[in-house]
Chain A
Amino acid sequence: MGKVFEVRDLRFRYPKGAKDVINGISFAVEEGTVFGLLGPSGAGKSTTQRILTKILSNYQGEIKYWGKDLSAFSKAFYEDVGVGFEMPVHFNKLSAQENLDYFASLYKRNIDYRELLTRFGLFEARKQMVGEFSKGMKVRLNFIRALLNDPQVLFLDEPTAGLDPKNAKIIKEAILEYKRAGKTIFITTHLMGDVEQLCDTVVFMNNGVITETSTVRDLKLKYGKKELNIEYHEAGKLTARSFPLGGIGKNREFLDLIATKELETIHSGETTLEDIFIKVTGESEHD
């Protein structure tokens, strides 16, 4: 599998900005995976996406796209790339269908978006003005728009932010399905749930630097404590205890306990990604 993006020592400062908002980050995005850029608000996630999607150009460092310098790509770059912005962007006084027709007309290759409209529950509303859409409908339409050219690489900036669980689930399932079709997906998010359910690789970012690059599994192995939590009855009271999972079969205390007590529950416990996020970035995800 090839590397879609290879980023080395990327730095960026906005033209009117006082300091660099991206401070030398390096990472790689593998073909056919979901890559997650995770961090609190203001970390520089959207800026990074804007650089990778060639909206912002005056960066320092090296970005390779399919092994070639990103800045060498012409506008044809966008024939294979789909971009979902943080805020749904539409012509509000046009209908959903008119919006999709408009953007579809800008590409050489088009998908039949009617099937997607149906799937995302927008087919009935396709002739309605987008300005009258609910937030969830706008986000779903935004997602369809990013797929109009059947992109090889899909960028989604906070795809589930502000969505109710039902809408968030629809989007997440679509992302995973897109990955199964062999496509590469780059998402930014400040939500743990997204990373846990979607991402193969995750990069933690804060204040323009990367604090950790890993897979979800490795992160849990590295930061996660594995333990066994037991609740049992003792002297008429419910009591709880934890044992380290390692060597549990030779743990006398544990074996005695399960042999002699009346057990209520046994669970294996793992540190959640949310705990890890707080540890790695030093901030809570809702800051």
Chain B
Amino acid sequence: MIKLFHLFKSEIIRLIKYKIFFFGLLVSIIWAVIIALADVQSVVGLVPYLVLMDTGMMSIILLAASFYYEKQEGTMQSMLVTPVRLSTILLIKVAAMVFMGIVSFVVVVGTALVFHDFDIRILPFLGACMLAVLAHTAIGYVLTLHSKDFLSLLVKYMGVALLFFAPTLLVALGVFSGDWELLGLLSPTYAAQKLFAMALGEIDQATLWISVTYLALIPALLYPLVILKRYEIVAMEG
């Protein structure tokens, strides 16, 4: 446990030194400013989107940046010749991403609560946040590990971002409605968005459980079955 904590601390220090933490925080602070200036009505609508930007799409970018720094510096291969298992290293990296998600949650939601007066289910919201990070970083890892450089990752990322935000757009434009909306949950981003919205408003049991299960299944399957193997190969190639 002590070792795990030490590794986690080192990873956070690394993210700070490489300005990745700062970059993530900066984006959250921008959202916080927007929230502070908005009126309470718009805030209730805005908060789920803004938290979604941070814990969903932002966390993929931050993870990729962190990954390519390491790849460029060749430190991944040097981790292979230490007694620490690769699964532990990966676990620590994911934990660090979840931690950054929590920080951004505190900044964004905290600001909303300080400046405005409205009801919110804090703990379920936080839980949904962590789920969103876990699911999106899993997808982020799959994309990153299958791209040869940051640029080719960005191209894939744009495609995926478009796909994942499609349900949000289609619903907003009124194209998706009624039962069709459930189909939108196929996008983990949309599923997370629904969960966040429920933390601030009404709960729909079916949507809740489908989203939670789906978001939990993505990392539960991708990490052990796809990412770990691929991570080892990429690390080996140095």
A interface residues (Cβ-Cβ under 8 A, vs B): 15, 53-56, 75-79, 81, 83, 85, 87, 89-94, 98, 101-103, 105-108
Contacts and interface: CB of A to CB of B under 8 A. Distances in A.
B77 interface: yes
28 contacts: A53-B81, A55-B80, A55-B81, A55-B236, A75-B83, A75-B85, A76-B83, A77-B83, A78-B82, A78-B83, A83-B78, A83-B81, A85-B74, A89-B73, A89-B74, A89-B75, A89-B77, A89-B78, A90-B75, A91-B17, A91-B73, A94-B13, A105-B3, A105-B6, A106-B7, A106-B83, A107-B82, A107-B83
B23 interface: no
Contacts of A54: 81
B81 to A, nearest CB: 4
B9 to A, nearest CB: 9
Contact of B13 (A75, A83, A98): A98
Contact of A85 (B7, B78, B85): B78
Contacts of A102: 10, 14
A90 B76 CA distance: 10
Given A98-B13, A105-B10, A91 B75 contact: yes
A276 to B, nearest CB: 32
Which of A78, A87, A103, A105 has the largest number of chain B CB atoms within 10 A?
A105
Contacts of B81: 53-55, 78, 81, 83
Contacts of B118: none
7 interchain residue pairs of minimum CB distance: A106-B82, A83-B81, A89-B74, A89-B78, A78-B83, A93-B17, A75-B83
Contacts of B17: 91, 93-94, 98
A77 B85 CA distance: 12
A218 to B, nearest CB: 32
B145 to A, nearest CB: 15
Which of B3, B10, B233 has the largest number of chain A CB atoms within 10 A?
B10
Contacts, number: 61
Nearest to A130: B73
A53 B81 CA distance: 7
B84 interface: yes
Given A83-B78, A91-B73, 10 more contacts: A55-B80, A75-B84, A85-B77, A85-B78, A89-B73, A91-B14, A94-B14, A94-B17, A102-B14, A107-B82
Which of B13, B69, B81, B84 has the largest number of chain A CB atoms within 10 A?
B81
A87 B236 contact: no
B18 interface: yes
Contact of A56 (B13, B75, B236): B236
Interface in B143-200: none
Nearest to A142: B78
B237 to A, nearest CB: 9
Contacts of A85: 74, 77-78
Contacts of B74: 85, 87, 89
Contacts of B233: 15
Interface string B63-98: 000000100011101101111110000000000000
Contacts of A90: 73, 75
Interface in B222-238: 233, 236
Contacts of B83: 75-79, 106-108
Nearest to B6: A105
Nearest to A82: B81
Which of A92, A93, A98, A106 has the largest number of chain B CB atoms within 10 A?
A106
B95 to A, nearest CB: 16
Nearest to B74: A89
A287 B30 CA distance: 56
Contact of B77 (A55, A75, A91, A105): A55
A81 B10 CA distance: 22
A103 B77 CA distance: 13
Contacts of B80: 55
A89 B84 CA distance: 17
Nearest to A107: B83
A131 to B, nearest CB: 9
A101 B17 CA distance: 15
Contacts of B69: 93
Nearest to B70: A91
Contacts of A89: 73-75, 77-78
Contacts of A101: 10
